Amino acid sequence: MTSIRSLTVSLGERSYPIHAGPGLLDRGDLVVPQLAGSRALIVTTETVSGLGYAHRLQNAIAGDAACDCLVLPDGEAHKTLATCMKVYDHLLQQRHDRHTTLIAVGGGVVGDMTGFVAATYQRGVRFIQAPTTLLAQVDSSVGGKTGVNHPLGKNMIGAFHQPALVLADTDTLQSLPQRELAAGLAEVIKYGLVRDRDFFRWLEHAMDALIRGDTAALINAILVSCRIKADVVAADETEQGVRAILNLGHTFGHAIEAESGYGNWLHGEAVGAGMVMAAWLSRALDWLAEDELSRIVALVRRAGLPTAPPPGMTPEQFLERMAVDKKARGGRIRLVLQQGIGAATVTADFPPRLLRQTLEHFTAHGARTD
Ligand SMILES: NC(=O)c1ccc[n+]([C@@H]2O[C@H](COP(=O)([O-])OP(=O)(O)OC[C@H]3O[C@@H](n4cnc5c(N)ncnc54)[C@H](O)[C@@H]3O)[C@@H](O)[C@H]2O)c1
pLDDT tens-place string over residues 184-212: 999 999 999 999 999 999 999 999 999 99
Within a domain: 114: yes
- What are 335's strand-pairing partners? 347
Residues of the chain with pLDDT > 70, as a percent, come to: 97
Q: To test the ligand 1 pocket, which listed residue (180, 262, 269) has its Cβ within 8 A of the most ligand atoms?
A: 180
Same domain for 28 and 160, yes or no, is yes
What's the whole-number mean pLDDT along residues 49-59?
Answer: 98
Q: Say if residue 276 is exposed, middle or buried (CB neighbours under 10 Å; 0-12, 13-18, 19+).
A: buried
Query: The domain that contains 29 carries what CATH number?
Result: 3.40.50.1970
Same domain for 167 and 184, yes or no, is no
61 C-alpha to ligand 1 centroid (Å): 24
Same domain for 156 and 208, yes or no, is no
Same domain for 130 and 183, yes or no, is no
Domain boundary among 175, 206, 232: 175
137 C-alpha to ligand 1 centroid (Å): 9
Same domain for 219 and 123, yes or no, is no
Same domain for 132 and 199, yes or no, is no
Confidence (pLDDT) at 240: 75
Nearest to 278 by CA among 313, 314, 308, 299: 308
Active-site residue, 96 included: no
Same domain for 140 and 97, yes or no, is yes
Same domain for 220 and 337, yes or no, is yes
Within a domain: 66: yes
Same domain for 307 and 342, yes or no, is yes
Same domain for 194 and 303, yes or no, is yes
Domain boundary among 116, 146, 175: 175
Single pTM value for the model: 0.95
Same domain for 238 and 281, yes or no, is yes
- 334 DSSP 8-state letter: -
Residue 330's domain comprises: 178-364
pLDDT tens-place string over residues 96-111: 999 999 999 999 999 9
Domain boundary among 127, 160, 175: 175
Query: The domain that contains 348 carries what CATH number?
Result: 1.20.1090.10
pLDDT tens-place string over residues 206-253: 999 999 999 999 999 999 999 999 999 888 877 777 889 999 999 999
Active-site residue, 239 included: yes
Same domain for 96 and 207, yes or no, is no
Of the listed 19, 27, 254, 327, which one is catalytic? 254
212 C-alpha to ligand 1 centroid (Å): 20
The answer to whether the CB of 300 falls within 8 A of the CB of 307 is yes
Q: To test the ligand 1 pocket, which listed residue (24, 44, 112, 172) has its Cβ within 8 A of the most ligand atoms?
A: 112
Within a domain: 369: no
Query: Is the sign of the CA dihedral 357, 359, 364, 370 positive or negative?
Result: positive
215 C-alpha to ligand 1 centroid (Å): 20
Ligand 1 proximal residues by C-beta, below 6 Å: 45, 47-48, 51, 74-76, 79, 106-110, 112, 132-133, 135-136, 139-140, 143, 145, 155, 172, 175-176, 180
Active-site residue, 327 included: no
Nearest to 78 by CA among 136, 148, 180: 148
Within a domain: 341: yes
* Number of separate domains in the chain: 2
Cβ-based neighbours of 329, under 8 Å, separated by 6 or more: 348
In this model, does residue 370 exceed pLDDT 60?
A: no
- State the DSSP H helix or E strand holding residue 274, giving kind and residue range, or none if neither: helix 267-284
